[in-house]
Amino acid sequence: MDSEKALELVKHGATLLFLDVPQHTFVGIDTQMFIVGPDFKGIKMIPPGIHFVFYSSSTRDGKEFSPTIGFFVDVGPSQVIVRKWNQQDEWLAKVSEEEEERYSQAVRNLEFDKHLGPYNLSQYGAWKHLSNYITKDVVEKFEPVGGEITVVYESAILKGGPKTAMEKALDAQMKKIKSKESSTEQTKGNRFYYTCIPRIIKHKGMSGQELTSMNLDKTQLLESVLSKEYKASEDLLLGELQFSFVAFLMGQSLESFMQWKSLVSLLLGCIDAPFHTRSQLFTKFIKVIYHQLKYGLQKDSSGPEMGVHALLDDSWLASDSFLHLLCKDFFALVEEATVVDGDLLSWTRKFKELLENRLGWEFQKKSAMDGIYFEEDDEYAPVVEMLDESHGDYMAT
């Protein structure tokens, strides 16, 4: 890149100015990660739009890292965001409006230019694939009060203990991370404003067979959730799917993983919608999850193993994971459908190849029982239980 082009990008791109950050601190933006050196004061040439910033303090030797803290930003052209390191709490605190204006002017005068690392524009495409449905409205709708995302405040999420292999791996990994008590009380206990996704549908007067059929096919539940929670906006649902994935993978949020899992389970659990009522939504969904796992499962040895990032090797490899079981059924439905949207078919095959190549997963053909086969130890196999014989009320669990 010639100097004239670089100067143009510096002037029109956004800047993150991070003051007094200790050496060896881990700092990331989107898909890019840095280890702070003696001259580091932030990142320049950031394209306008939505970005995710995350960081983690370390011991003096740079070998142990505390839990990640992250936040979304929506930056405009030439905007400067200023944060100053709080030594006591080990986090990047906002500065006063007066200070922000003074430092912003200094940045525009190129006084900090030699201390700012450039945003790697060659990686911007990968970030857009992970965030193209995340808008300012999406961030404001789902983020915690204050905007700070960290697993430190999520100790109560796994009430009763972790259940699935992924949850157990997450729980074990979080316990290994050097956890430090923070005196920053304003964010403690804050929760995301995620959409509540019911695991089952239950209606009085329905027979056990009807309930089982309805809960085998999540299409009706999807339509209900879209109408009531997303005001019929498919893109808002996809925005929450991307928001929760980024908050989970880069922000190490366990609550966000649980929400991402709920949304994926809802969509992959639909039988009718992908072919009749929501073909376009499912094509977009498969594109989203393809790019999420393509990024999340890649091998990256350029930086330290940061918490959840290191989890994707072990826990996603398990052939009994929720994702493998749901994908196996969904792939078979698409392949065996008599009529299917061409884009949906091609992206589903692409997604299937990714999982086969990256994880070595095999997706064998199922035996037929309403098109669904569940193994005996499958936690997602529906079981109809009589809850109240006098009212004929059933629930599939």
Buried b (16+ CB within 10 A) or exposed e, 165-177: bbbebbeebbeeb
Compute φ and ψ for 370, nearest 5 degrees: 55, 30
- Token pair listed for 286: 């498969």
pTM: 0.82
Domain boundaries 3-120, CATH class:
mainly beta
* Burial zone of 76 (CB within 10 Å; 0-12 exposed, 13-18 middle, 19+ buried): exposed
Separation of alpha carbons 241 and 257, rounded Å:
10
Q: Give the mean pLDDT of 149-156.
A: 71
- The pLDDT score that the predictor gives to residue 175 is 58
Separation of alpha carbons 272 and 53, rounded Å:
39
Specify the DSSP element, H or E, that contains 320: none
Q: Do the Cβ atoms of 383 and 397 come closer than 8 Å? A: yes
Percent of the chain with pLDDT over 90: 50
Percent of the chain with pLDDT over 70: 69
Residue spans of the domains in the chain: they are 3-120, 148-176+191-299+315-359
- The pLDDT score that the predictor gives to residue 204 is 60
pLDDT band at residue 91 using 50, 70 and 90 as cut-offs = confident
- Token pair listed for 273: 């919608």
Separation of alpha carbons 28 and 43, rounded Å:
10
- The pLDDT score that the predictor gives to residue 65 is 73
How far are the Cα atoms of 29, 257, 332 from residue 51, in angstroms, in the given order?
A: 7, 19, 36
Distance, C-alpha 141 to centroid of its chain: 15
Residue 319 per-residue DSSP state: T
Q: What is the pLDDT of residues 268-317, one digit of tens each?
A: 999 999 999 999 999 999 999 999 999 988 765 444 444 445 455 455 55
Separation of alpha carbons 278 and 18, rounded Å:
44
- Token pair listed for 393: 């009320």
Q: Do the Cβ atoms of 52 and 74 come closer than 8 Å? A: no
Q: What is the pLDDT of residues 3-43, one digit of tens each?
A: 666 667 767 899 999 999 998 898 999 999 988 899 999 99
- The pLDDT score that the predictor gives to residue 201 is 63
- Token pair listed for 344: 């949906």
Separation of alpha carbons 46 and 156, rounded Å:
36
Mean pLDDT (the chain, rounded): 79
Q: What is the pLDDT of residues 157-188, one digit of tens each?
A: 655 555 555 566 556 655 554 444 444 444 44
Separation of alpha carbons 128 and 371, rounded Å:
36
- Token pair listed for 289: 């999850």
pLDDT band at residue 1 using 50, 70 and 90 as cut-offs = low
Domain boundaries 148-176+191-299+315-359, CATH class:
mainly alpha
